[in-house]
Structure 1
Amino acid sequence: MKEKLFPTFEAENPGVTLIQVTGTSTETLAKLQAQRNKPEIGVALIDDGPMYQALQLGFCDPIAADAYEGLYPLANMSGKAVGVGLVATGLAYNTDAFNKLGLPPPTSWEALVDPKFKQKVVIPSITNTYGLHTLVVFARLRGGSEKNIDPGFKAMIDEAGSNVVAWEPAPGKLAEMFQNGSTILAAHGSGRVQALKATGFPVEFVYPKEGAVALQVAACPIAKSPEPELAQKFLKFLLRPASQVILAESEGWGPTNVSTKLSDDIAKRVPYGAEAVSKMQALDWAAINASRSAWTTRWNRTVER
């Protein structure tokens, strides 16, 4: 993003220099908390779950209404944050391994609990968004929800437990496990899978028939920031179709602007188009964030024991 988008914005706004402060979503949220009385960050880009926490904590200013024009409805996050990119949580599988075993590609979330994959599955820990998504998906599949998570925990313990070789939260480590054959099937993100595939490894991403989970990279203008007008301007810049194409190519983010046109090659790598977006599952982050700490404690005691 920095190399391909920042120079264009700076050229359009003489005298402006953009500074990227890197960090995970959790780290950025902690920085916003530490700077809340005198913020140094003008625009925050973090995953949708932590973004809803930022909204609840009052870190974000309202976004100009016209910024949402032409976006998919899910990109409007309470009028104070906006989805600038879309990633899917679904299934990753080793195509060579499946072919050697004479198995068809997985099509359902239920593949993660299929006994034929005993000790060949990775589901990330609940501290990883992909793992959290998987817990909620199985709660829904077993008759529960974000407000009734018990069926999800039961599925993780009783059904997935014997299949899972590791509850690995680190994407880099999961990539290694695919490469050394420790796993052939995992709950994973579309962007991460495409990055692994780009190395030449035989891996594919699957949108499960029950629906992949939408993970948005969200942005918001920070309240009390020193340059509020520039923050609004930068958000609109990120949402332009031309910028959305670059984000799809460089970051693996599906566009949230409906008008964005991607090449066939890039379109295959990201969630793209109204039909694909409409089939994705959105989560109730208010319910999740209210319970996430308790869920994490429970997970550590009962799932990864």
Structure 2
Amino acid sequence: MRRSIYGAALAGAMAMLAAASAAGQTKTLTVAAYGGSWEQQLRKSVIPEFEKKHNVKVEYVAGNSTDTLAKLQAQKANQVIDVAIVDDGPMYQAIQLGFCARIPNLDKGELYPSALFKDDKAVAIGQTGTGFMIDTKTFKEKGWATPTSWNDLKDPKFKKLLVIPPINNTYGLYTLLMYARLNGGGENNIEPGFKAMKEQVNPNVLVYEPSPGKMTELFQSNQAQIAVWGTGRVQAFANTGFPVDFIYPKEGAPILLASACPVAKATIDPLAYEFIKLLISAPVQTVLAKEMGNGPVNTKVDVNMPELAMAPVGERAKKVIAFDWDVINAHRQEWTKRWNREVER
């Protein structure tokens, strides 16, 4: 009898210890988002405070938007990602495919209308204009005029000095669309874009580079002098002291919205919602603006700060243009195959 009582007591104590251990275990929240300056800044200014406050470990999975969308598709039977941060185009696809859940109690009072998605299934966390990054030191030394038009990328003096992200990156896709638009086409007629890219732009391209880190390396090693990139990326690079500037082309700078959504799954961790709400809060939006030149989505952020000198805010907001993502996404897979076959060979 004594052994029986002792055994029961021991079992009970072990169960209590196991429960206490489980309760004290740190949970994991998986966030799939951009690499480069985005990853560096979120790891520095956002994630540590969030982990401490919520006793959670944030697992950061870096990749471009189409990589993250591919992961969501591959894991749809058992989603690992809790929060997905991608460009607005892939975000529309993610929502359409049912990968995003509604963000409950989203406070829209502080947000610009352009930051909102239908049914609150995503929200923008930053605004970026697409245009040119130039090495100002080289341009000055060579006496080159500052480019003002998308057509300037065809100039023979830029042969093998131009870098453009590939079509699976929104900046590359926007380049194709701009050349279609400039030559009588657009989302509904992409043929002029492919013709211009193949015949007039491609000879100048050093490499179609998707990695933010490698993009900056190409400039630092003096291999590249001009690129198609976004305001936030260029501002973050300029903040390191490297002599680069951002140019808004006269025909327009396509707008890109970095966007976040809680991934739909059987059991959604409430911390996924909290992480997104933290990203769009005025304090974090201010940090992203100051450190990365990210155009804020929160109306309480001062858009006149010098760190937003390149961002699409104020008068510069008039220079941005938007494309129809419903049309683009219907053709994007087909365009990607064609690009890989005909342009980036």
TM-score w.r.t. length of structure 1: 0.87
CA gap of 1:225–1:29, structure 2 versus 1, over 3 A, is: farther
In the alignment, structure 1 segments of 5+ residues that lack a partner are none
Aligned to 1:21: 60
Q: Tell me the distance in 1 between the aligned counterparts of 2:276 and 2:266.
A: 14
Is 1:215 the counterpart of 2:256? The answer is yes
Give yes or no for the alignment of 1:54 onto 2:94: yes
Rounded Cα–Cα distance in structure 2 between residues aligned with 1:127 and 1:15: 35
Call closer, same or farther: CA 1:111–1:48 in 2, change over 3 Å.
Answer: same
Q: In structure 2, how many angstroms separate the alpha carbons of the residues matched to 1:179 and 1:4?
A: 26
Residue 304 of structure 1 and its aligned partner are, at CA, apart by 2.6
Alignment of 1:56-205 (within 5 A): 56-64=96-104, 66-79=106-119, 80-205=121-246
Aligned length: 302
After TM superposition, the structure 1 stretch with the greater mean CA deviation from structure 2, 38-47 or 86-95, is 38-47
**More divergent stretch after superposition (101-110 vs 191-200):** 191-200
Q: Structure 1 residues 173-182 or 92-101, which shifts more?
A: 173-182
1:287 to 323, 327, 331: 327
In structure 2, relative to structure 1, the CA distance for the partners of 1:120 and 1:4 (3 Å cut) is closer
The 2-side partners of 1:178 and 1:7 are apart by: 31
| Residue 173 of structure 1: how far off its partner (Å) | 3.0
Deviation at 1:92, TM superposition (A): 0.8
What is the Cα deviation at residue 35 of structure 1?
4.0
Structure 2: distance between partners of 1:66 and 1:223: 16
Match of 1:276 among 305, 310, 316: 316
Q: Which has the higher contact order (CA 8 A, sep 6+)?
A: 1
Structure 1 residues 2 and 201: CA distance shift in structure 2, 3 A: closer
Find out whether 1:303 has 2:343 as its counterpart. yes
Partners of 2:79 and 2:166 lie apart in 1 by 32
**CA distance in 2 between partners of 1:213 and 1:304 (Å):** 22
CA distances 1:101-144 after superposition (whole Å, capped 9, x unpaired): 22232222221123443333222322332111111111111121
The CA RMSD measured in Å over matched residues stands at 2.5
Q: Determine what percentage of the aligned residue pairs are the same residue.
A: 48
Matched position secondary structure for 2:259: strand
Are the aligned partners of 1:42 and 1:226 in contact in 2 as well (CA < 8 Å)? Answer: no
Matched, 1:32 2:72: yes
Q: CA deviation at 1:10?
A: 5.6
Taking a change above 3 Å as real, the CA distance of residues 71 and 210 of structure 1, as seen in their structure-2 partners, is: farther
- 1:292 maps to amino acid: R
Instruction: Return the alpha-carbon distance in structure 2 between the equivalents of residues 6 and 178 of structure 1.
Output: 30
Provide, for residues 249-302 of structure 1, a one-character-per-residue CA deviation record: whole Å limited to 9, x for no partner. Answer: 3444221112212563322253334x4334312222222222122112211222
Structure 1 position 49, deviation (Å)? 2.3
Structure 2 alignment gaps of length 5 or more: 1-41
In structure 2, distance between residues paired with 1:166 and 1:97? 19
1:237 alignment partner in structure 2 = 278
8 Å CA contact retained: 1:87, 1:190: yes
Instruction: Name the counterpart of 2:298.
Output: 257
Find the residue that maps to 1:22 and give its secondary structure: strand
What is the CA distance between 1:39 and its match in structure 2? 3.5
Cα offset, 1:58, TM superposition? 0.3
